[in-house]
Amino acid sequence: MIYLDCAATTPPFSEAIKAFEEVSLNCFGNPSSLHTVGFAASKVLENARNSILNCLGVSKSHRLIFTSGASEANSLAIKGAAFHYKNRGKRIITSAVEHPSVLKAFEQLGQEFGFEVIELPVNAEGKVEPETLENAMNKETILVSIMAVNNETGSINDLPALLKVVRKFPKALFHSDLTQAIGKVDLPLGDLDMFSFSAHKFGGLKGNGALIYKSHLSFLPLISGGHQEAGLRGGTVDVAGANAMSAALSKTYSLRKEEIARVQGLNAYLKQQLSEIDEASINSPSDASPFVLNFSLLRHKASVVVEALSEKGICVSSVSACNSKGEPASYVLLAMGKTMDEAKNSIRVSFGINSNKGDVDAFITELKVVLEEVNPR
Ligand code: PMP
């Protein structure tokens, strides 16, 4: 089996599974319990928290809340901050190509809670122009949420330039969804007010993620409950999962420089191979994250091709995994100005630590076969 869908999820590292197993077997306590078994679990949890903050270089300035993943972390950052700071202003800003966990949170705040929601357009490369953001900002703006790396195209936003705009408005907080960026793209993490990610995108386990935020900030908790996670997220914390996420992040960071360079080579090789297929039109901009390459088929139906590839043991995706049911055209590609035909027929190839040149060769070989076998649309 050739797995080239690492933007959907990565295979977990054995180190992460081991870290999970170790805690589940030997340190199963509730970290809130006031006895030795609880204290031991609490120690593991705090070690994982500190190790993640240290790894990301934000241990002095930021705090971390463990969540069930990036979707929950995005919701907590966006709704939690909007509710907490609602008396400062009502305008909240995001972009048209965010993950649904961001877009829907904004939509809810607008439709049901009276916030003034601005959804910024992107340019042909899928990026928010700093001037577009600047024109949308006003004194009422309390929150801006713009992703670092797009999950469908790998387009990278210029976060330093966007942050510079936001800083002209002292009441506005800047949140970024870093789910496709952690360990893959270098970013000014220490300058961000809040950022979110999911462990399973970098070798950790599904059901674990985090919101990291500047120490002076607060949120309205979305999950009410006990005093866990500084009172900002009720519920007994998944200590084993947190430990696995910490192990996965350490490994990702230790390999990151070589991996980025290696995957850049793979991406360039894939692009060169695709250039021999005349109906493949590349959608990812040339400076996108090397971990994602998105292209459209100009003559065949992408969903049929992806299914046929799957039958041949090749796993890639069409549209994004989160939207494939009921919404067949990519809203990300439409926002970039692609045609409806292109937006309905995109394929995403995404790399991870196990991806290699042989995978690309197998993908290209089978793609050529499938394009011969399957009727054009
Ligand atoms: N944001 C982005 C950019 C993503 O790619 C994803 C996963 N598809 C998420 C958020 C949500 O992650 P999770 O499903 O792990 O909560």
Ligand 1 atom 7, closest CA: 8
Q: What total of structural domains would you count in the chain?
A: 2
Mutation choice for ligand 1 from 78, 97, 179, CB with most ligand atoms inside 8 A: 179
271 & 247 share domain = no
Residue 202 alpha carbon to ligand 1 centre in Å: 12
pLDDT higher than threshold 70 for residue 327? no
Return the H-helix or E-strand segment holding 23.
helix 14-26
Q: If you average pLDDT over residues 134-152, what whole number do you get?
A: 98
In angstroms, rounded to a whole number, what is the distance separating the alpha carbons of residues 47 and 285?
A: 39
175 & 26 share domain = yes
In angstroms, rounded to a whole number, what is the distance separating the alpha carbons of residues 347 and 295?
A: 5
Compute the Cα dihedral for 119, 123, 127, 128 and give only its sign. Answer: negative
Band of pLDDT at residue 316, cut at 50, 70 and 90: very high
In angstroms, rounded to a whole number, what is the distance separating the alpha carbons of residues 198 and 54?
A: 17
| Residue whose entry in the numeric block shows the structure tokens 């999962």 | 241
CA 223 to chain centre: 22
285 & 362 share domain = yes
Q: Which domain holds residue 82?
A: 14-253
Residue 114 alpha carbon to ligand 1 centre in Å: 26
Return the active site residues. Answer: 322
Output the six-digit token pair for 135: 């024109």
pLDDT higher than threshold 60 for residue 324? no
> Cα–Cα–Cα angle for 220, 149, 77, nearest 5°?
0
CA proximity to 323, closest of 313, 314, 334: 334
pLDDT higher than threshold 70 for residue 320? no
The answer to whether 260 touches 149, Cβ cutoff 8 Å, is no
* pLDDT at 226 (0 to 100): 85
191 & 267 share domain = no
Please, is 292 exposed, middle or buried when counting C-beta atoms within 10 Å of its C-beta (0-12, 13-18, 19+)?
buried
Residue 200 Cα: closest atom of ligand 1:
15
Q: In what order do the strands lie in the sheet with 292-297?
A: 280-282, 292-297, 346-350, 317-318
Task: From 253, 286, 321, give the residue that closes a domain.
Answer: 253
Ligand 1 atom 14, closest CA: 71
Task: From 253, 285, 308, give the residue that closes a domain.
Answer: 253
- 156-211: pLDDT as tens digits: 999 999 999 999 999 999 999 999 999 999 999 999 999 999 999 999 999 999 99
Band of pLDDT at residue 325, cut at 50, 70 and 90: low
- 19-54: pLDDT as tens digits: 999 999 999 999 999 999 999 999 999 999 999 999
* pLDDT at 282 (0 to 100): 98
CA proximity to 274, closest of 26, 75, 4: 4
Residue 198 alpha carbon to ligand 1 centre in Å: 7
Output the six-digit token pair for 142: 């309390």
Integer CA distances (angstroms), 99 to 87, 96, 152, 259, 280, in order: 27, 9, 9, 25, 25
233 & 274 share domain = no
Band of pLDDT at residue 284, cut at 50, 70 and 90: very high
Amino acid identity at 161: A
In angstroms, rounded to a whole number, what is the distance separating the alpha carbons of residues 313 and 363?
A: 9
CATH of the domain at 53: 3.40.640.10
Task: From 236, 253, 270, give the residue that closes a domain.
Answer: 253
What residues flank ligand 1, with Cβ below 6 Å? 69-71, 99, 101, 147, 151, 177, 179-180, 198, 200, 209, 321-322
pLDDT higher than threshold 90 for residue 322? no
How high does pLDDT run on average in the chain?
96
Band of pLDDT at residue 300, cut at 50, 70 and 90: very high
- 61-98: pLDDT as tens digits: 999 999 999 999 999 999 999 999 999 999 999 999 99
Q: If you average pLDDT over residues 111-130, what whole number do you get?
A: 98
Mutation choice for ligand 1 from 97, 198, 330, 331, CB with most ligand atoms inside 8 A: 198
Strands 173-177, 116-120: pairing is unpaired
190 & 125 share domain = yes
114 & 178 share domain = yes
Amino acid identity at 293: L
CA proximity to 151, closest of 283, 301, 1, 277: 283
Band of pLDDT at residue 328, cut at 50, 70 and 90: confident
340 & 233 share domain = no
69 & 160 share domain = yes
Residue 71 alpha carbon to ligand 1 centre in Å: 6
- 28-37: pLDDT as tens digits: 999 999 999 9
